Amino acid sequence: MSGLTRAVIANGAGGPEVLAIVERELPAPGVGEMMVRVQAAGINRPDVMQRQGNYPPPPGASDVLGLELAGVVETIGPAVARFKAGDRVMALVHSGAYAERAIVQEASALPIPDAMSFVEAGAFPETYFTVWSNVFERAGLKRGETLLIHGGTSGIGTTALKLAKAFGATVIVTAGSAEKCQACLDLGADGAIDYRREDFVARSKELTEGRGPDVILDMVGGSYIQRNLEAIAADGRIAQIAFQQGSKAELDLLPLLMKRVTMAGSTLRARPLEMKARLAATLEANVLPLLTQSAVRPLIDSTFAFDKVADAHARLDGGSHTGKIVLVMEDRA
């Protein structure tokens, strides 16, 4: 297929106003790749960081924004065996999701269950891949344990909440207002801490009869790094996935030794395709069967038409959202 596709890039670093819709040549799918007509694309914090100039795409990646999408396969390249033209797919991509058409690697794509809309599917890959990799694999959350999630109403937070509850964990969240705390409780959280009014270290211990949470999922960093060590239970695990408050902190690491704490950090975007393919297969086996239940599917905060991508980013920047913000192709999702 030849022709042009509209796509979103950032003209320099800055606020939502630097986002621009441009026309790009359609590349032909290579070995193991598919051309997908995009129906919906999730808006994620790394997209904002890239727009701000703080998260450059990895080598070889396009400057077109977007890490996850859902759509319909249009054409397939050599060695694509699982999917065919007309199939509904959702996929994790290293760039290029904010476009009318995008190249997708078959290995990191998943079939969209019949129960899911394109909007829900467009909000699935980035957060579910991230949460499964960090909470369930690296931090080893088990049934009956307690998970503390910082930023409970974010896309990552609501995903972690839903999955942890589905697999039998107790969930405590932090959030920035009474309304956001209530939203998390309504989603099934067992406890919610308003970090603006309460000390999450003391409160999380109160909610766990003095033990502290077994696993902490943190994207804040900064002063939270030390406080997580104070809050965590003995033999606890901390999964660090971002540093919104900064990556530097003055630390007393004695709790790390005395409590036998494991701290793990990772990012997903630059990981090799083989790892993402394994993760996709694990999600297909363990999570996709649960998506017949609305309680496990992505929580959608709002949708924005493709031409309103700057408004979608402004919504994420504002911090008042609960769940995922999704970009949709007009008249398609």
Structure token digits, residue 14: 């800055």
The residue ranges of the chain whose pLDDT is under 50 are 332-333
Question: Does the pTM of the predicted model rise above 0.85?
Answer: yes
Structure token digits, residue 174: 């932090």
> Of all residues in the chain, what percent carry a pLDDT higher than 90?
91
Residue 95 burial by CB count (10 A; 0-12/13-18/19+): exposed, middle or buried? buried
Predicted local distance difference test score (pLDDT) of residue 95 = 95
Predicted local distance difference test score (pLDDT) of residue 60 = 84
Give the closest residue to 160 by CA, choosing from 186, 190, 136. Answer: 136
Predicted local distance difference test score (pLDDT) of residue 332 = 45
| CB environment 246-273: b (16+ within 10 A), e (fewer) | eeeeeeeeebeeebebbbeeeebbebee
Give the closest residue to 169 by CA, choosing from 140, 200, 129. Answer: 140
Predicted local distance difference test score (pLDDT) of residue 56 = 86
Predicted local distance difference test score (pLDDT) of residue 154 = 96
Residues 245-259: tens digit of each pLDDT: 999 999 999 999 999
Half-sphere exposure of 301 (CA within 13 A, CB side): 26
Predicted local distance difference test score (pLDDT) of residue 271 = 87
DSSP letters for 98-134: SBSEEEEEGGGEEEPPTT--HHHHHTSHHHHHHHIII
The Cα–Cα gap between 257 and 155 comes to 32
**How crowded is residue 324: how many other Cβ atoms within 10 Å of its Cβ?**
28
Which residue ranges form the domains of the chain, and what is each CATH number?
4-124+293-328 (3.90.180.10), 128-265 (3.40.50.720)
Predicted local distance difference test score (pLDDT) of residue 333 = 42
Residues 203-241: tens digit of each pLDDT: 999 999 999 999 999 999 999 999 999 999 999 999 999
Only one residue has tokens 């904002």, namely 48
Spatial contact of 177 and 196, defined as CB atoms under 8 Å apart: yes
